Structure 1
Amino acid sequence: MTFRPFANRREAGRMLAQEILKLNLMNAVVLALPRGGVPLGYEVAKALGAPLDVLFVRKIGAPGHEEYGIGALVDGVSPQVFIDRDIARMVGADEEYIAREVERQLAEIERRRRLYRPGPPVELRGRTAVVVDDGIATGGTARAALQALAKSGVKAIVLAVAVAPASTLRELSPLCDRLVCLLSPEPFNAVGAHYTDFAQTGDDEVVRLLNAANSAPGSPES
């Protein structure tokens, strides 16, 4: 089966929003994975009339190959680190390397928090958290995000992504209550291969969309 690529992240977000609306979610909060998930999260939050926030998750990459994830770091009151020890050993990531990477990624999370969220985070306890991303490949970052959210007091977790391989979706499904994915092509190529425009989402766009989502008339948080 041939899939038409998404024109861009905003189009993917509008398509994702239509599927999420069918779930009839109550008391939802949309949590986008920055930066690429924010344009999609904006469209989903707008459709749901829900607040939009970001979930600060950073991939821990392999030595010399940052895009190859060996784990992830999720920010919070007590930052949580998830490391695939088998993969870490295979790529030569020892404890000293992992500790350095955790410190470096915590610094980047703090930079983004100051820039993206000058105020307090959206309250999560008792709400349905809709985690949104532009796509998932191996699932390491999403897995860390879902595991951390499970300890946050949310009522339910919905994982909503534009594109992901079926094998990764099967692994992530037990970590959420509902899973929405628009495309799951086989064989699966890189996430960006399923977008016509997959230009990097900049900090300025993230800030603009977060402000627009949470200051719009009728927004639950405005």
Structure 2
Amino acid sequence: MVFISIIIPTLNEEQYIGHLLQFLQKHPQQSHFEVIVVDGGSIDQTKEIVKTFNVTLHEADKASRAHQMNEGARLASGDILYFVHADTQLVDSFVNDIQSSIEQGIKSGCYRFKFKDPKNPLLHINGFFTRFPFKWCRGGDQTLFISKADFDTIGGFNERYVIMEDYDMLDRLEKHNIPFNVLPKSVKVSARKYNENSYLKVQIANLKAMKMYKRGEDPEKIREYYCGALDGKYKQDHLFLGN
């Protein structure tokens, strides 16, 4: 059985992080994984909540998901790195699912996703398409596992990408011919970005950000556009921290 290092980047996640850590603390296979929370400078109760659990809390020197996840990977002792967002609800079988994928020789992958209690029925369409192997259907919300050896081979996350770091990772996995597997189960993710904005507004912002990424535009410019296009938590956190 492989040992998994679960790496969770956080920034002002007091509403969600406790639920995720409680799930992991009660998991019947917890002897097969460790949990590393890498905080990017939260000003709410995130760090205080994390400290009530038996996990590793590392405080990064800057708030940037790529940087925080690389910091977590440097601390990891697992054979497999599993990157998870704080507001994601994992499937109970994630340890066995990842183990099975590794045994099949597929050492990187993610899950499909569904939104938790979506207010807009159109969000079911977004979730439906994550079963297909299209890169535009992917994203960090679906969680990402990768062998530590392969992660080191491709150089980890490119910290130049202050946004779209997950898509850059997928592109580099493909360039290195590292097989990627979409597991046939769904994690559940928060719909907060859609609840704080309209469905159309988020879809347009996502589409334009992807086009900018595909054109090779500066990630700082993409992030500046995305922050300006959306309201709510994402904009507040990134503008406050200047990142």
TM-score (normalised: structure 1): 0.32
Structure number with the higher helix fraction is 2
The higher relative CO (CA closer than 8 Å, separation ≥ 6) is in: 1
